[in-house]
Amino acid sequence: MAEENKEKKAKKKSTFFTDFKTFISRGNIINLAIAVTIGAAFGAIVTSLVNDIITPFIALLFGKDSFTDLRWVLKEAVVDADGIVTATEIAVRYGAFIQTILNFLVIAFFIFLVFRIITKATNSIKKAVASKETAPATPPAPPKPTQEELLTEIRDLLKEANKPKTD
């Protein structure tokens, strides 16, 4: 009885680790890791696009050096006579919030474009495959003449052959 319990525990351990190994080695988990890595790189590109190209134009409209510097100061910082800050500023940094919203909108727009391109390409491929499956492999043979049509044609040829020639 004790040996059976040990065998069951050994099977559970090996099954767990075997299942874990199978899970890790599946293509899905590898695809997910690749997608996360590419997504992070894509996020960095879009963040740079927003921060380095789009934001300066918006900041120009507001007359600030940086769009993220926009804030509503609730309490000014307290500075002593030596110039040391004794109490920090309390402010609502709405510029940073707007920056984050702008980042989100640009990322969402580009993801939408990529999704739309992939969807159209997939639909085109599906249509091409479906048309190949429904299209006949060889063109249909022309219909064969009926027996009556053949006899009529023979009769007409015999009439032509038996006509007297007038040259």
pLDDT tens per residue across span 111-159:
888 889 988 999 999 888 888 777 666 777 888 888 998 889 889 888 8
> Closest by alpha carbon to 93, among 120, 112, 107, 73?
73
What's the whole-model pTM score?
A: 0.50
> Closest by alpha carbon to 48, among 102, 86, 127, 121?
102
Residue 10 has pLDDT above 70, yes or no: no
Domain residue extents for the chain = 8-124
For 8-124, CATH gives 1.10.1200.120
Cα dist. 4→1, 7, 9, 11, 19 in Å? Answer: 5, 5, 9, 10, 22
pLDDT (average), residues 37-50 = 84
Residues 50-94 have pLDDT tens digits of: 778 887 887 787 777 777 777 888 888 888 888 887 888 889 988
